[in-house]
Amino acid sequence: MRSSARARRYRPLIWLVSALLVLGAGAAAGDPAAADRTDTGTYGVPGLDYTYRAFVPAGLPEHPALLVMIHGCRTTAEQQQRANLLDPLARRAGFVVLYVDGTPLHRLQDRCWSGLLTPALESRTTGDAAAIAAMTRAAAERYGADPHRIYALGMSSGAFETALLGAYFPDLFAAVGLHSGAAFGHGVLGCVGPALPGATTEQLAAQAFSAQGGHRRVVPTIAMRGDADTTVSAECGEQAVEQWRATANLILAAQGGADRIRPEPTAFRDGVVPGGHRYTVRTWDAPGAPCPVLQAWTVHGMGHFWSGGADEPDLAEFTDPRGPSASAAAWAFFSRVERTADGFSCRPPDTVG
């Protein structure tokens, strides 16, 4: 009887403790999830500091992909981050975006990268190419990125720079994307302004092949441009596509393969953005690979803009929202590519768009 009375006496206290435990569990379950964030940092070279921004979505996988975005002239990393709408895509697909920026010296050259102005001074150990590669490696280590799934994407002068990265650092970048850019090593002369004679496509292809050195491998490439672009000539845009096809064939030959990437696309399709631009997509498959090795997007009637960017008044100088999303196109291409020691392997299509 005494034990039963004691149990009845403490029963309300037990109920109270149980209720508090339940409420506590509910509060823990209802805690706000970790938020997306943008980290900032610097990379120093003698006398100068490069800067960068990294968009890190909440809930990343253990070893996420890393996409390096390289802005164009008269643009900052912060503007490019707002303009190209890569962040929402990275949030849905679960990858990190590294937006690299220049040094105070770049402000004196209209924020253009040296891949446009002085490509001959770039290499694995010098210039903007070496600095961007160093920032990429630092970000990959910080965020635990999958080393086989690191990609570079550039706009305008950033695309000129990205073409250098694809040749100098094939051991770092699995694939590259060139928006409104040119072939490897083809700088401002002959591409921006008056058409001037320059190196042939075959010469540039051979130079890119040589630049890869002992890290030689086929680097899948996506190229995008507007056919009403009056800043970077159409000839230079088309030369970029042909140069990477020719470079890939030089690599395939050096590796002893009998097959080559043919001049004619293996797939061709037209599309239209509702209320916006028409576009054409040409795709080249690599021998024996179930995913594309080269893809070219031409947006009809679009000028020198990021295709499908943000519809914000202060970004109107940089984007054309009426075009197909260059960010979505680039990620669809990149997401299938995984770097290997002597080439690439193909992942299943990423259904996130």
pLDDT digits (tens, 9 = 90+) for 145-163: 999 999 999 999 999 999 9
Of 257, 256, 217, 254, the C-alpha closest to 340 is: 217
Dihedral angle over CA of 147, 123, 98, 60, nearest 10:
0
Sign of the torsion angle spanned by Cα atoms 106, 112, 113, 114: negative
Output the pLDDT for position 190: 84
- Residue 304 CA, chain-centre distance (Å), reads 18
pLDDT attached to residue 30: 42
Task: Please provide the average confidence, as pLDDT, over all residues in the chain.
Answer: 90
Asked whether the predicted pLDDT for residue 271 surpasses 60, the reply is yes
| Average pLDDT, integer, range 262-279 | 97
Q: CA 205 to CA 110: how far, in whole Å?
A: 29
Instruction: Give the model's confidence band at 196: pLDDT under 50 very low, under 70 low, under 90 confident, else very high.
Output: low
* Range in 23-32, 184-193, 237-246 with the lowest mean pLDDT: 23-32
Rounded Cα distance between 129 and 119, Å, is 9
Higher pLDDT: 14 or 204? It is 204
Least confident of 174-183, 195-204, 267-276, 297-306: 195-204
Confidence of residue 34 (pLDDT cuts 50, 70, 90): confident
Q: Which two tokens stand for residue 330?
A: 């680039």
Q: What percent of the chain has pLDDT over 70?
A: 89
pLDDT tens across 221-265, in order?
Answer: 999 999 999 999 999 999 999 999 999 999 999 999 888 999 999
* Residue 23 reports pLDDT greater than 60: no
Task: For the chain, give the number of residues.
Answer: 353
The residue with greater pLDDT, 29 or 195, is: 195
* pLDDT average, residue stretch 191-201: 78
SS3 352: coil
What is the set of domains in the chain, with CATH numbers? 38-346 (3.40.50.1820)
Q: Which of the four pLDDT bands, split at 50, 70 and 90, describes residue 286?
A: confident
CA 132/CA 137 separation, integer angstroms: 9
**Residue 11 pLDDT grade (very low, low, confident, very high; cuts 50, 70, 90):** very low
Q: At 47, is the pLDDT very low, low, confident or very high (cuts 50, 70, 90)? A: confident
Q: How far is C-alpha 313 from the geometric centre of its chain's CA atoms?
A: 24
Q: Is the pLDDT of residue 193 over 70?
A: yes
Q: Where are the beta strands (DSSP E) in 72-189?
A: 95-101, 150-155, 175-179
What pLDDT does residue 195 have?
A: 63
